[in-house]
Amino acid sequence: METTGKSSPHSVKQWQLSGTDYDPQPVRSLRSGACFSTWTPLNNKTSNLQLFEERVNLVLHWFDLWTDRQRKHLLHFLLTRCTKSQLKYCRDFLIETVPVTQVDFTAVLPRFLSLYVMSFLSPRDLCSVAQVSWHWRVLAEQDCLWASRCITRGWFLPYTPGEKEYGAWKNHYVSCVSTLDWLTPREAAEQYGTLNQQSTGITEEEEERWKEKRIRQMIRDKLKEEKRQSMRTRRAWGSYTKAEGARGGRTETGRPSSGITFSSWPSLSWPPRTVGSPSLWSSPDRGQPMTAAQSLERVQASSPNSERLSKASAALSSFTSRPALPHPVSPIYLTIPALLLLISNRIPAYELVLSGVKAGVVVVLYDHRGTLSALLTQVERAISGQRAQRLGLLAPGGTEEIHLLHSSSLSEKTLLTSKHREFWEKLGGWVVPTEEGGGIDIFTPLAASASGVSLIKTLSTLTGLEVRAPMGLATGSFQNILGEWSDGSVGTGLWNQEPAAPALQFVCESVLQGWCRQAQWMDEALEELRDRLGTRLQRLSLQARGRALGHFLCENICLEDLCVSEDLNEALIEGLTALTRQEQVESTTRPLEFLAIFLTKWKKEGEECSGGEKWRNEGADDFSSTPHSSQKCFGLTPEQTEFDWRGAVARELHHSECLYLGRLGAVLKVYQEPLTAALNSNRAILSYADIHVVLSPVTQILELNRAFQIDLQARLQQWGAEQCVGDVLVKLCSKLRVYSNYLNNYTTALRTVDKCRETKPSFRAFLKRADRTLATHMLSLQELLLCPAWRIHEYVTLLQALAFHTHTSHPDHTHLSSALNTLLRFREFIQKLKRNCERDRLMEETQQMIQGCPNLREGNRQLVITQEAALLRSPDEHIPDSLRTYEHVSDVGLFLFNDALVLTRRNVHHTPFTSTHQSTHTFLASVALASLAVREITHTHYVSHAFVLDGPCRSWVCATERGEDREHFLSALRSAINSALTGHQ
């Protein structure tokens, strides 16, 4: 289409654009009036780009005016005309613009995976899930999710659901919960016959199942035994000797061999022992080992119906058809089954029992607060795939139940629950059968009651093992272990050997007797401690263990600095190999001595073969070339550090200073910066005043110590015999006012933290997230605030060592002495602050202890000593002291302060059914020390350890139980009286 200057600029007429807000701009660069034309100048890139931009703007303007339907039509037409690369670009752009963040997993995952995820939800959560959508409701009401929950509680459907019926088990569960239709396991067994109850007769099918179970167990045992034999006969790791032809020869490394072949080396992990009794795999008629196939044929021959055992027979035949091992070992060399003893940490003084455990007993000390599954895992890890000869259980309990765990008590009613039944079935499977001497010994007098005997019978039936327990004929909570035990058959007979014979298989007799006699009193004392200090001691124990482990791993072990030479590595490998192959008895009883002798011989042989000086020099170089972190940092040589005690102390001062700065920096990074950021964003956790009181002084200390660390590091980088660091320490001591202000404000800061933690839940949650993390060096905010006080004590210790190793003629001696004296005075200041805090705490506790007592916190009053005594009274005061008798009026408490003596009436309240007691104090009188006189009463036949307190108005005659207590109290009282009189003068 040819255009002219007078023609219309575009096929779209101007009147069509007059109704829009589009304002076409004239294009001066285009010739022949190409603006808004359909002609595209392909050869002119500038014009082409300009026209493209104009037309895109026009299309976008139209796009904005169109409806949603018209826009979708346009997008559809455009996408159908795009190539694959353009469609991929659109896809990536849409994914980036509209990311898929939330997807319904039930619509993406297969149905069985969605049901598996929902199987972990509780019934209440499943009901909540069913309210999400119809699809989720269909999945949440499937019978496979609700049938198991109903069956475990003894709830069974009274009818068979239809093929297209779903939600029957859920409706049954809801109806049973709403009507509390719950059956005990025994009631469910009587009604439905589902649990393991004793039946009057054994059917043929049950007999076949039992035999099949035994055959499978035989196959598993045979596989384990073959694996152990292969581990015994395989070539040792790192060995350089040959199996044959090595006697009298030399090894591949050129060293003389020991002349012992591989077949003559016993194993250290599995000591061989010939089993005297016929084992499972030995043939009793011919005295030769019986293979697994022969044992299977014997079992099949004895079975009336062997069709159910075809799969087991095929599996066993394929197992026995494997090629023989290169070094066959006779199956009669079996491992000795060990005794397994489970001990609860709830047992009082269980450490004493652990000290008396006999050899060959595997002990599992488990946590009383754990679960049954955790206990099973711990036992499985302890036995390492082996089977125990007998199982012993030492846990608190009585004649009717065993307190196995804090949340799981074993009794006649709870034994047949699903979790207990599964636990004892698995635990009994790890014990050898009764025919081979297996059984369970429970150190609780269950055989003393009818319900306990019933529990023993049910447990024996459930596990298929012999169960024995004490008869309870001995008195005491734990002394019944030393009495007679049941014979394990019916629970009514007596043990036919010595008393406590089952228990003596696990623990030595002397230790067991001593523990049983004292355990009752220990239990009462520990119970009192648990009630009062249990939570606090547990928390302190966890903190101490975690802090010690973290300190050891992070600060004391430098794995990158460890270096072991190749020769030393080779020597250790050969030594350990020789140790595993040693025939002599000394190697098994004294392995360290054997290893030392071997390494000595190896060194001599190496010196003869390749020259010992090279090996010795290389080993010495490797040992001395291991750089210490401080040596690596400051470039010190071994000659400088051999006797440079000043350098060692200075490097320790720098190392500890870096750790100290890290802890102070953690206060600012973990606490101050987030709290300040929250305050600036109008989401304040703490107010500005609280942040300033608690954290601002730490910033000043951090700036001061960073400057000190930089100066100290500069001195250590140029360390020498005449180098001085005292002036740096004097500079630090001149600015200790920062520490003084901090310590004076320390008590206020702690109170502020405690107050904000109690009154502000957001701050409490913040501390819970931030305290005791890796960023805070496993410390809390309160402990980090205590670091400056700890650091002052460290400064004193390090400066004392530095001054001790600095000669008086050294130029650094004067500055060190000055800095040490300043820090010693500052340490006394800290100790004074600590004593004042302890004094206030004692005064507050004493004020709360004495009922009806006036205010004790007056002036500079301090508590000196407290003493319990008996208040005496004489019927006749005119009788001479040597003939005077006294009667006990009441018990009193004497609270001696630095200016007064307070007397209280002490009432003792004994706790029922325990041997513990509590004391309460009621105020009687108070006497100023300046007006108090004291005199002792001579020890007579009628009174002992007595003294008289003479006040201005009345006197009190008191007596202590021991003479040492009287002397100690009277000495403190006379000293306080003299001080009070001196003060008044």
DSSP codes joined into one string, 479-520? GGGGS-BB-SSSS-SBPSSSTTHHHHTTB-HHHHHHHHHHHH
For residue 726 the two structure tokens come to 């005292």
CA–CA distance, 822 with 730 (Å, rounded to integer): 9
- Secondary structure (3-state) at 366: strand
Q: Contact 516/503 with Cβ under 8 angstroms?
A: no
Place of tokens 């044959």: 244
CA torsion, ordered 192, 198, 200, 204, to nearest 10 deg: 80
Closest CA to 294 of 101, 286, 307: 286
CA separation, residue 136 to residues 104, 118, 278, 741, 812 (Å): 10, 10, 61, 64, 81
Place of tokens 């044929």: 297
pLDDT of amino acid 530? 63
CA separation, residue 689 to residues 402, 435, 667, 681, 698 (Å): 57, 78, 17, 16, 15
pLDDT of amino acid 21? 44
pLDDT of amino acid 315? 41
- Secondary structure (3-state) at 81: helix
CA–CA distance, 522 with 963 (Å, rounded to integer): 29
Question: Over the range 216-255, which residues count as b (16 or more CB within 10 Å of their CB) and which as e?
Answer: eebbeebeebbebbeebeeeeeebebeeeebeeeeeeeeb
pLDDT of amino acid 525? 66
CA–CA distance, 80 with 60 (Å, rounded to integer): 19
Q: State the pairing for strand pair 339-344/361-366.
A: parallel
Closest CA to 657 of 816, 813, 790, 822: 790
Q: Contact 192/181 with Cβ under 8 angstroms?
A: no
DSSP secondary structure code for residue 916 in this structure: -
Phi, psi of 825 (to 5 degrees): -65, -40
CA–CA distance, 151 with 183 (Å, rounded to integer): 10
**Residue 424 identity:** W
CA–CA distance, 531 with 77 (Å, rounded to integer): 79
CA–CA distance, 410 with 415 (Å, rounded to integer): 6
What percent helix, strand, coil does the chain show, rounded to 5? 55, 10, 35
CA torsion, ordered 280, 284, 285, 287, to nearest 10 deg: 100
CA–CA distance, 614 with 417 (Å, rounded to integer): 71
Q: Contact 196/421 with Cβ under 8 angstroms?
A: yes
pLDDT of amino acid 164? 78
CA–CA distance, 638 with 647 (Å, rounded to integer): 12
CA–CA distance, 394 with 344 (Å, rounded to integer): 6
Question: Over the range 882-912, which residues count as b (16 or more CB within 10 Å of their CB) and which as e?
Answer: eebebeeeebbbbbbbbbbbbbbbbeeeeee
CA–CA distance, 5 with 28 (Å, rounded to integer): 12
Report the number of secondary-structure helices (H) and strands (E) in the chain.
Answer: 37, 15
CA–CA distance, 39 with 227 (Å, rounded to integer): 86
End-to-end CA separation in angstroms for the chain:
127
pLDDT of amino acid 231? 63
Report pLDDT digits (tens) over 22-32.
444 444 444 44
Phi, psi of 361 (to 5 degrees): -105, 125
pLDDT of amino acid 126? 92
CA–CA distance, 534 with 536 (Å, rounded to integer): 6
CA–CA distance, 260 with 578 (Å, rounded to integer): 9
DSSP secondary structure code for residue 328 in this structure: -
**Residue 451 identity:** S
Half-sphere exposure of 810 (CA within 13 A, CB side): 20
Where helices occur in 582-644 by DSSP H, the ranges are 586-589, 591-610, 612-624, 629-634, 638-641
pLDDT of amino acid 557? 55
Q: Contact 114/139 with Cβ under 8 angstroms?
A: yes
Q: Which helix (H) or strand (E) holds 119?
A: none
CA–CA distance, 502 with 485 (Å, rounded to integer): 8
CA–CA distance, 481 with 444 (Å, rounded to integer): 7
pLDDT of amino acid 633? 40
DSSP secondary structure code for residue 33 in this structure: G
pLDDT of amino acid 498? 59
CA–CA distance, 812 with 824 (Å, rounded to integer): 18
CA–CA distance, 416 with 186 (Å, rounded to integer): 8
CA–CA distance, 260 with 247 (Å, rounded to integer): 6
Question: Which parts of the chain sit beneath pLDDT 70?
Answer: 1-42, 101, 180-206, 230-336, 473-477, 488-500, 520-566, 580-590, 606-643, 915, 984-985
Where helices occur in 760-786 by DSSP H, the ranges are 761-770, 781-785
Q: State the pairing for strand pair 900-910/887-897.
A: antiparallel
Computed over its alpha carbons, how large is the radius of gyration of the chain?
Answer: 44
